[in-house]
Amino acid sequence: MPSAGALPAPALAVFDLDGTLTLHDTLAIYAGGFLLRHPQRLVRLVRVLGPLVRFTLGTADQGELKASFIEATLGGRTRSELNGWTDRFVNRLTRQGLRADALSELARHRERGSTLVLLSASPDLYVPAIGRALGFAEVLCTELEWQGERLIGRLITPNRRGTEKARCLQELRSRYRGLPIVAYGDSGSDLEHLRLADRGVLVNGSRRVRRLAAALNISCLDWH
C-alpha cells in the first residue's frame, strides 16, 4: 500500500479529514443529509447568498461563508437532535466514506506507537465523533457557538485551515516535544502546515499543488 516512507517510531501523526481520510467533503454531506430529513429548512439557504456573493468578490473569507451555511442549514436545532444525526452520519461515513489507503496508514502508525491527531477545518458538530471512532488521541477542528442547548452556528475559533492550521501544528509541536511530526493533507491550503512538519505528505493533490509541494520537499502520494 502507498506509504509515507520510513519514519522514526513513535511519531506525532497529524491527519487532515476532508479529502485526506474521506472520499468527499464532510460538511456538505452532513448538512445535506440533515436537510433531506428536514426539507422545510431548504428555504433558509437563501441566507447564504449574501456571504456567497461577498466571498466571490473577495470581501468575505471561507470562515464567514462556512458559518452562514451552518447557521442556515442547522442553526436553531438542539444538541440532542444533532447528536442523533451525527451518530448516524459517522456510522455511515466510517463504513463506506473513508479511503482504504488512509485506514492502512492509520493502522501503520498505531503499530509504531504514534500519537494520532485529527486536524480539520470542519466543525465540531461531528469531527470529534469521527476522531473517537477512528481512535485519534486528539482532535482539533473549527468550533461553533451554542446558546444553551441550541446551535447558533457562528465560529468561536478561527476557521482551522491555511495559516490557522500551521499555528495549530506549531502548538502541537510545543506540547509533544521530542516527537517528530508527520502530517497529511490534500489541498493547496494544507501546504502551509505540511511544510512545517518533519515529513509532510500531500495526498491526491492536483497537478498544480503537487508542483508547489515538490518545491517545498513535501512528499506526494495517491490514496484510494
As a whole number, the mean pLDDT across the chain is 95
Nearest to 150, CA basis, from 83, 70, 82, 76: 76
Is the per-residue pLDDT at 1 higher than 90?
A: no
Cis omega (within 30 of 0) on the bond before 158?
Answer: no
Could you give the percent of the chain with pLDDT greater than 70? Answer: 96
H helix runs in 75-224, sequence order = 79-96, 100-112, 127-134, 163-175, 191-194, 207-215
- All structural domains of the chain with their residue ranges: 12-221
Mean pLDDT of 8-22: 93
Identify the sign of the CA torsion 76, 92, 25, 200. Answer: positive
Is the per-residue pLDDT at 184 higher than 50?
A: yes
Q: Is the CATH code 3.40.50.1000 the one for domain 12-221? A: yes
Is the per-residue pLDDT at 193 higher than 90?
A: yes
Enter the C-alpha cell of residue 217: 520537499
| DSSP E strands, the chain | 12-15, 115-123, 138-142, 144-147, 150-155, 181-185, 199-203, 219-221
Q: Enter the DSSP assignment of 58.
A: T
Is the per-residue pLDDT at 2 higher than 50?
A: no
User: What are the tens digits of pLDDT across the range 34-86?
Assistant: 999 999 999 999 999 999 999 999 999 999 999 999 999 999 999 999 999 99
Which residue shows C-alpha cell 428555504? 43
